[in-house]
């Protein structure tokens, strides 16, 4: 179609806007409609293709997979890069890199002081100990910081979404001690894969892509007077380490994993097999009025006791 005709119909649609329209929503909706009209015309999208696309999105909504399609198409990572850019412009730099939250956080996890065991003892995976501190920009420890941690089991599945796991398995909120330290015992996670045959999987197959994440552990780290950090660490050596379907692996978030085989260290933990040890400290930025709020409000699962 010619541009004059497309713009004419777009004009008629925009003119239908009422006086009390929400200006932000109107701007976004009309921009989206305009971009999609032009896309339909440029790609000569046929009616069957349009309806297939609409029904595809409806299915993804019904089955709860939009939260997987978004990271799979790079939206979550793109929002991170935009937040990094906004921070850089506000003079906020250094510190532990952020990376995406993903769709599998559950609010309301048990709170522990200083240290916690995350696994319920049923997972045969290798024992993992992770420890470190929460620090401010000057390297000073932050006592009373909160380290929220969540990760998959040795099948790559997350409790709550995987209803076979116990409540809050592999999920805790750990408050740092007087020296800013946190420490937890858990099991080494395995990378998550999107549900086979689901909306995300079928889309990725059309793109000749896989739907697997490398093994990772999620964190929200917060402390009074500091910007909330949303991040992950990766388990080094995972074959998908730099081939994450969600594009979330970043330099600075792949700490070395030490295999501990020392008998005394194993005995101190009460384990009879070697375990993995990760030491990693988080550095937060002080609050600033210049940068957009680091804490992102979004719909999340919440479980209350």
102 binds Fe ion (CB under 5 A): yes
Q: Is 104 in the site for ligand MBD (CB under 6 A)?
A: yes
CB-nearer residue toward Fe ion: 174 or 215: 215
Which residue number is nearest to ligand MBD in terms of Cβ?
102
Given 158, 183, 185, 226, the catalytic residue: 158
CB closer to ligand MBD, 103 vs 132: 103
- Residue 77 interacting with ligand MBD (CB under 6 A): no
Catalytic residue among 218, 226, 227, 250: 218
The interface with ligand MBD within residues 204-223 (CB under 6 A) comprises 213
DSSP string of the chain, one letter each residue: --HHHHHHHHHHHHHT--TT--HHHHHHHHHHHHHHHHHHHHTT--HHHHHHHHHHHHHHHHTT-HHHHHHHTTHHHHHHHHHHHHHHHTT---SSPP----S--EE-PPEEESEEE-S-S---SPEEEEEEEEE-TTS-B-TT-EEEEEE--TTS--BTTBTTSPTTTTEEEEE--TTSEEEEEEE-----BPPTTSHHHHHHHHTT---BPPSEEEEEEE-TTBPPEEEEEE-TT-TTTT--TT----TT-----EEE--HHHHHHHT-SS-EEEEE--EEPPBP-SSSPPSSPP---EE---
Name the minimum Å distance from CB 126 to Fe ion: 18
100 binds, among Fe ion, ligand MBD, none (CB under 5 to 8 A by kind): ligand MBD
Catalytic residue among 133, 151, 185, 213: 213
- Our finding on whether 192 is near ligand MBD (CB under 6 A) is yes
Cα(243)–Cα(211) distance, integer angstroms: 10
Report 105-134 residues binding ligand MBD (CB under 6 A): none
Listed ranges 97-105, 117-125, 233-241, 265-273: which one lies at the site for ligand MBD (CB under 6 A): 97-105
Nearer to ligand MBD, 105 or 182 (CB): 105
> Which of these, 102, 105, 106, lies nearest to 68 by C-alpha position?
102
Site for ligand MBD in 235-274 (CB under 6 A): 246, 248
Q: Examine the residue annotation and report whether 218 is marked as an active-site residue of this protein.
A: yes
Cα–Cα distance for residue pair 109/105, rounded to 1 Å:
10
Is residue 213 annotated as a catalytic residue, yes or no? yes
CB of 120 to ligand MBD, least distance (A): 19
Determine, following the binding rule CB under 6 A, whether residue 100 of this chain makes contact with ligand MBD: yes
* 190 touches ligand MBD by CB under 6 A: no
Q: Is 160 a catalytic site residue? A: no
Beta bridge partners of 232: 218
Q: Which residues are catalytic?
A: 158, 192, 213, 216, 218
Contact positions vs Fe ion (CB under 5 A): 102
Contact positions vs ligand MBD (CB under 6 A): 68, 71, 100, 102-104, 192, 213, 246, 248
């Amino acid at each position: 179609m010619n541009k004059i005709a497309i713009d004419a119909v777009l004009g008629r649609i925009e003119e239908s806007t009422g006086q009390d329209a929400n200006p932000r929503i109107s701007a976004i909706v009309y921009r989206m409609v305009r971009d999609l009209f032009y896309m339909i015309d440029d790609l000569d999208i046929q009616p069957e293709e349009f309806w297939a696309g609409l029904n595809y999105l409806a299915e993804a909504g019904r089955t709860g997979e939009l939260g997987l399609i978004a990271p799979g198409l790079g939206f979550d990572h793109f929002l991170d890069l935009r937040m990094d850019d906004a921070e850089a412009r506000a003079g906020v730099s250094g510190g532990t890199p952020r990376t995406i939250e993903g769709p599998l956080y559950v609010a309301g996890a048990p709170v522990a002081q200083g240290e916690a065991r995350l696994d319920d003892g049923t997972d045969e995976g290798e024992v993992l100990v992770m420890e470190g501190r929460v620090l401010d920009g000057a390297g000073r420890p932050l006592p009373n910081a909160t380290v929220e941690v969540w990760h998959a089991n040795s099948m790559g599945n997350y409790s709550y979404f995987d209803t076979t796991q116990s409540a809050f398995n592999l999920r805790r909120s750990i408050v740092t001690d007087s020296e800013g330290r946190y420490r937890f015992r858990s099991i080494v996670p395995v990378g998550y894969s999107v549900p086979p045959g689901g909306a995300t999987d079928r889309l990725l197959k059309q793109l000749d892509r896989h739907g697997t994440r490398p093994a990772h552990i999620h964190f929200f780290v917060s402390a009074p007077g500091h910007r909330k950090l949303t991040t992950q660490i990766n388990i080094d050596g995972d074959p998908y380490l730099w081939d994450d379907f969600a594009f979330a692996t970043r330099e600075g978030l792949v700490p070395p994993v030490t295999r501990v085989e020392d008998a005394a260290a194993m005995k101190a933990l009460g384990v009879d097999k070697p375990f993995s040890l990760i030491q990693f400290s988080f550095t937060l930025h002080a609050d600033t009025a210049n940068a957009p709020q680091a804490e992102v409000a979004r719909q999340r699962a919440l479980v209350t006791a």
